[in-house]
Every structure is written in C-alpha cells, then in structure tokens.
Amino acid sequence: MKMIKKTSLIFIIVLLILCGKAVQAYEGKQEYEGNQQLTLIIVPDFSFQEVKWLKENGQFLQLWKTSGMAGVNIRPDGPYSYLNNTVSLSAGMRALGVEGWNAYTSGELVDNVFVEDLFQQWTGNVVEKDVVFHPLFHKLVDKNKAEISILGETLKKNGVSRYVFGNSDVHDESVRYGPLFTMDNEGLTDGFLLDATKKSKSAPSGVEMDVDNLTQWLSIIHGKNEPSFTVIEWGDIFRLYKQKENMTERFFVERYELSLRNLESFVEKLLTEGHVENLMLLSPMVHSDAYQNKERLAPFFYWEKDALNQNILLRSHTTRQDFVISNLDIVPTVLNVYQIPQPKQLIGKSLQKEAISTSVLEEGLKKLDLMFLIFKTRNMVLSSYITLLVLLLIIVGLIILIKDKKETWKSVAQILLIGGISSPLWFLITPYLLNYVQPNVYLLLLILCSFLTGYLLVKFVHHPILKISGALFISITLDLFLGNYFMQRSYLGYDPIIGARYYGIGNEFAGIYLISGLLLLQHRFMNKWLVLIVLAFGKVVILSSTFLGANAGATLSVGIMFGFFYYRYFFSSFQWRKLLMIVSFVVPIVLVILFFTQLNGKESHISYAFSKLFSGDFTYIFDIIKRKLEMNWKIFRYSNWTQLFVTTYLLIALYLWRGKNIVRNEVKRVLIQTGVVASISLLLLNDSGVVAAATSMFIIVCTSYYWALEEG
C-alpha cells in the first residue's frame, strides 16, 4: 500500500512539473509584425441556399470557385438569434446578447434622448462625434462575465485601425451588430452606420446598401497604407426576409435575385479594383427557410488578393474536418492576418489555407449537403433504430424467460442478438451510401445487413460473439487512425451542426468500443498478464490521444474497467480494500497517460482543460462538471436514447439479481460484471454519458442473453 501511494505521488509531481512548463510555453509572447488590411462583410440571413443560387445563376462564378469556403457552426450559448450568434462570433466564445442591444452614432435619439447623453449618464464617458458606440455595452460584458470586445481591443492595442459601416435596420427598428467585431473595451469604434445605406422606395424597408459610398471609404482606408480592419454589415438580405411574409411571391423572387447579384457585384468590385487586400464574407445567421430545413451551417468565404486564381481549402484545427469551422475560429483567424499572438483565453484556432487542384465550391457543397441530410434525418433514423433495439431485447428476453426448448426459437433469438450487436458496425462503414440512397432506404438496408450478418455468424461461425466483437473493435480502431473518416458522418457519430464534438470518438461508439474490446478477453490467449497490460495500455492511449480518440471520459472508464477486471479475475473473494488499492493505483496512471498524450503539439479540448487546471482556473473545471451533469439530465429527459438506457439497465439488473442461473462460465460472468462497471463509469464521466451507457449496456445485455441461450 505504501509503495502504491509513493508511486502515485511521484506521478502527480511529474505531472505538475510538466503542466507548469506547458502553461509557461503557452503564455509566451510573440513579436507583432505586419501591415495588413482586412475587410469583413457580415451578411445576416445568408445561407448555402444563396450560395447554390449564385453557383447556378451568378455572373462571377470564378469568384466563388476560387475562394476559401467553409460552413460555420454559429451556435451561441443560448437561443439561436442574430445578436447571440454575432456576440459569439466576435468574442471567440459561445456567448449571449442583451435584449435590445444596439450600436449608435452621435445625434441619434433613443426615447427622445440623444444617445450620446445616455452614454454619458450611464457610463460617465463622453463620446466624440462620428464615433460608433453603445450606452449599454457594459451590460453585455457583465452578462457573459468575459471580455466580449477582445477582438477590437486586441487590434487597438496592436495599432490596427478599426472601422465599421452599414446596418440591418428594418423600418423603425435599429439592428446594428457589425460593431461587435470592432468595439474596444469602452464600447467605441470608428465608422458610419447610417451613411452606408441609401433610400430606395422599392427596396425592403425603403433602403439598400450604398455601394458607391462604401467603395469610396474603403479606397480612402486602403490608401492610408496602414494596418486596418473594416467590417461592413450588409443588411439587404436580412431586410428582405423580414418582409417576405408581406410580399408577393413574384416580387420577393425579383428582389431576392437582385439582392444576391448586388452582393456578388460588390465583392467582385472590391477584389478586382484593388479596394481591399484580404476579404472575408461571413453569415452570422441563416434565414428562417434554411433554418427550418435544418441547413444551419452558415457560409464563410475568404479571398486573398495574391491568390485570387487558386483553389483554397480552409482547414480548422478546432473541427479537424474539411469545409467545417467553428464560430470560435473567426477571431483567431482575423488576428492571424495581422500576425498578432492569440490571447490565451481564446480556445479557437486560426484557419489554415491549402492550395488544391480540385474545385472547392463543388466538393464543399457536396459534403455540406451530406451533413445537412444527416442532421435533418438523424432523429427519424435513430428513433426508429433505438425502438427496434428495445423490441429486440424484449422479444429475446421473453424467449429466455419462458425457457422455450425449441431449437428454432433459440436460433431466432441468437440471430437477433448477433444482428443487433453487428448493427453499429454497419452504421460505421456505410454513411456515404447516403449520397446515393434515401435515408429510409438506407435504414432498411442497414437492418437487412445486420440480420444477415447475424444469420451467417450464428449458422457458420464458431464463437460469433468473439468474432463480431473483434470486427467492431478493429473497425473502430482503424477509423480512428484514418482521422474519423467514417465516424464523423455516421448517424451514430457526431454532428458538426450540433457542435458538441468535431473529432475523436463520440460517445455512441465509445460505449461500443469499450465493450467490444472487453469481450475479446473471453479468448484464452487474451487472459495472459502481458496481453492484458498491452491491451489496456493500448486502449488508454488510443482513446486519450489528441490525434485519435480524444475522449477523456472514455479513457478514465477504460482504466476503471480493466482495474475491476484484474481484481475480479485474479481475486476470488470480494474485498473492498483490494479493490480500492487497485483503483488508487490505476486511476493516477491513466491520468498521467491522458496528460502525456496531449503533449504532441496539437491542442485539444482535453489539453486546454489541463492548462486551465494547472493555471489554477478551477472555475473552468467546475463549469465542465456542471455542463456534463446538465447535458446528461437533458439527454435523459428528451433523448431517444433514454428508452434504450432504461431498458438495458432494467434487464441487466434482472440478470444480476438472477446471478449464476443465467451464465455458468466464470470468465463470462466476470466479463459481464466488468461491462456493467464500464457502462456506469461512462455514464458518470461523459458529458453525454446516458448515450455511452446505453450503447455499452446494449452490447452487454445482448452478450449475456446469447451466452445464456448457448449454455441452454
């Protein structure tokens, strides 16, 4: 016991020293260089429906083909809205707006009071003429308890001039969220909000963007030959959709096409006439039609003056997926244009650009369409699938309960069980079939393949549980080494539109992976000490590595799982003292491995949590725990996985209550008990633990039922 304590203490000391060095390296400063100019066009209510229209009907197709294009996950911390989304994008963190928040210029009235007077009355500060500001900016900061103006303030400190032009005003309603990207810590920025639009009787709300004024201001800024960041809030499409319900269909289509052509012409003019050096176009929200159709990734385009004829692929270290970036990446990308070091509180990453030979637009739209299709049909497919799994368990449970002696029913039950266990394998390797078949047809094909697999394995293969477990374990491992190529598009994988996870192993497959690896231990060769240690170490490394699994909850669950298995398999009698000794030895080792696998130069959410922990930011850690508990409770209340979770846990409780009467083989009983411990660990340690617990327990229940039928 003393030796274990000393070993654990040494590991912890080493961990602290290494983390301290990592934090010091992370906080190191870089010298600022560069004299760049960047223009960002904010286009609310612009979606990939409009991108497709421009692809088919635009006058400057080459403009869109040669840009860097990606879909942005624009989910805020709370409800989806233009304000909440823009606050999150401009702050580099998921945040929330304040109801009624807006930007103004001096001379405007709010409740018949000059807004600059309100600013002075509420903050004690006096604003200059022609400065953009907001009198309640401090409330926005207080609500989010963070530096909301981090982009504007960082640019200001590094000598970058900041300007904002335009608005999305609708009739008498002021909508000006572009200044969020340029405001400093006092809520101030240079620019003009009203002079960037002009009156037009036929345009929605009677105004439209004034291209002549905008290009003139941009030419002046560009002519200064100094680092500058300019934001243009292009509100024409937003105003159009605000009035869609009141417009005739014919006139809406006419204005829709005109608005898109005007936007395209403006972008083309800026790039070809030399008004800008670098240009970004970003939609902070998609319009209601796209949102209802669940096309909720917003378009992002990036042009560089020196690379207008190249096909540019944007890569995000945050998502590690092509054509998908996070709202956390926008601020670091802007700062990187000016070679400004990224503030340590930002967890997003600057986008990387790669010149490729294929068409970015064609390939990107194809991949995004698949993401939209999976997101749109996920609930339908998974609810049907989960219901089928529950029915499968109930039917097989009844067959076992009534102790039917007929070989036919026994064979049917075994086929159903192996088919159910094999279904995650088909979900893993077939997601790209959705490019060719409808989701309902895909689900039918998957069901047929699963039960055909069950039939073939039961009829022609010895030890089918071992074989299908090996197939699952090897397939998931290979996919992790392939960069999650299959998993990231699977219905059982993770969705970039939801944004809870972009890479690694998701909780659905994490539960399956743990149990499939555990079931390999039924083979005599796998019960050797050395093999057990190698398998346990390998799974911990795979699940913890930032390049592979990147799942801290699953990593810790593996340690607990193997620790319990060692205890039950090598000690005949149950003793809490021995169990606690093993756990106190295994858990620190797993934590050390988890930390060391983060020290590979590629930051992940796990390494960021370690850096926060060793910098003394325990509030961040407590927030993670709180978020995990809230997420699990939300999933338990509303998710389809709850019915599988409840069913499997009730059935395994019945199995444990019946004890040795179901499975007589000692090794198999230990494996089932260990699987239960692993499932409970996943439930407690993962932010979507209910899901991981449900999939892992499903495999355990199916396995225990199959072995019960096998033993008669």
Q: What is the predicted pLDDT for the residue at 23? A: 37
DSSP state of 42: E
CB 697 within 8 A of CB 674: no
**Cα 613 to Cα 608: distance, rounded to the nearest angstrom:** 9
pLDDT tier for residue 522 given thresholds of 50, 70 and 90: confident
The residues pairing with 70 across neighbouring beta strands, listed in sequence order, are 300
Q: What is the predicted pLDDT for the residue at 530? A: 64
pLDDT tier for residue 405 given thresholds of 50, 70 and 90: low
Decide which of 290 and 665 is more confident: 290
**Cα 54 to Cα 79: distance, rounded to the nearest angstrom:** 30
Exposed/middle/buried for residue 6 (C-beta within 10 Å: 0-12, 13-18, 19+): exposed
The 3-state DSSP class for residue 315 equals: strand
Decide which of 173 and 637 is more confident: 173
The pLDDT of 314-324, averaged and rounded, is 89
Distances (CA, A) of 690 to 123, 390, 641: 47, 15, 7
Q: Which residue has the tokens 């670098």?
A: 278
Sequence-separated (6 or more) residues with CB below 8 Å from residue 439:
373, 377, 380, 381
pLDDT tier for residue 603 given thresholds of 50, 70 and 90: low
The pLDDT of 543-550, averaged and rounded, is 80
Least confident of 383-397, 402-416, 622-636, 697-711: 622-636
Distances (CA, A) of 75 to 379, 486, 638: 19, 24, 20
> Could you read off the pLDDT of 37-48 as tens digits, one per residue?
899 999 999 999
Least confident of 93-102, 442-451, 468-477: 93-102
Q: What is the predicted pLDDT for the residue at 697? A: 92
Spell out a b/e string for 61-88, using b for 16 or more CB atoms within 10 Å of the CB, else e.
Answer: eebbebbbbbbbbbbbeeeebbbbbbbb
Q: What are the respective helix, strand and coil percentages of the chain, to the nearest 5?
A: 60, 10, 30
Q: Which residue has the tokens 């909301």?
A: 148
CB 233 within 8 A of CB 209: no
Cα-only R_g, the chain: 29
Q: What is the predicted pLDDT for the residue at 128? A: 73
Tokens matching residue 545: 């590595």
DSSP state of 173: B
Q: Taking the domains of the chain in order of start, what are their residue ranges? A: 33-94+147-360, 378-711
Q: What is the predicted pLDDT for the residue at 384? A: 94
Q: What is the predicted pLDDT for the residue at 32? A: 37
CA dihedral sign of residues 257, 259, 262, 263: negative
The pLDDT of 317-331, averaged and rounded, is 91
The 3-state DSSP class for residue 104 equals: strand
Tokens matching residue 90: 């401009």
C-alpha triplet 138, 139, 142: angle, nearest 5°: 90
Count of all residues that appear for the chain in the document? 712
Q: What is the predicted pLDDT for the residue at 17? A: 40
The matching CATH number, chosen from 3.40.50.1820, 3.40.50.720, 3.40.720.10, 3.30.1180.20, for 33-94+147-360 is: 3.40.720.10
Average pLDDT value for the chain? 83
**Cα 295 to Cα 152: distance, rounded to the nearest angstrom:** 30
Q: What is the predicted pLDDT for the residue at 285? A: 95
**Cα 396 to Cα 532: distance, rounded to the nearest angstrom:** 32
Q: What is the predicted pLDDT for the residue at 9? A: 42
CB 1 within 8 A of CB 580: no
pTM for the structure as a whole: 0.84
> Could you read off the pLDDT of 16-42 as tens digits, one per residue?
443 443 333 333 333 334 468 899 999
